[in-house]
Amino acid sequence: MISREEALVAVKKHVKNKNLIKHMLAVEAIMKGLAEHFDENPERWGLAGLLHDIDYDQTAQDPEAHSILGAKMLEDMGVDRDIVYAVKAHNEVHGLPRNRKMDKALYAADPLSGLIVAAALIHPDKKLSSIDVGFVMNRFGEKSFARGANREQIKSCSELGLELEEFIDIGLKSMQAISDELGL
Give residue-wise pLDDT tens across range 81-90: 999 999 999 9
Amino acid symbol at 5: E
Give residue-wise pLDDT tens across range 6-54: 999 999 999 999 999 999 999 999 999 999 999 999 999 999 999 999 9
pLDDT at 59 over 90: yes
Listed by start position, the domains of the chain span 4-179
Q: Which among 116, 162, 132 has a CA at the least distance from the CA of 23? A: 116
Give residue-wise pLDDT tens across range 98-153: 999 999 999 999 999 999 999 999 999 999 999 999 999 999 999 899 999 999 99
pLDDT of amino acid 143: 87
Pick the CATH number of 4-179 from 1.10.10, 1.10.3210, 1.10.150, 1.10.3470: 1.10.3210
If DSSP states are collapsed to H, E and C, what string results for 103-132?
HHHHHHHHHHHHHHHHHHHHCCCCCHHHCC
pLDDT of amino acid 1: 82
Predicted structure pTM score: 0.97
Cα→Cα distances 138→62, 97, 120, 156, 165, Å: 33, 31, 13, 18, 11
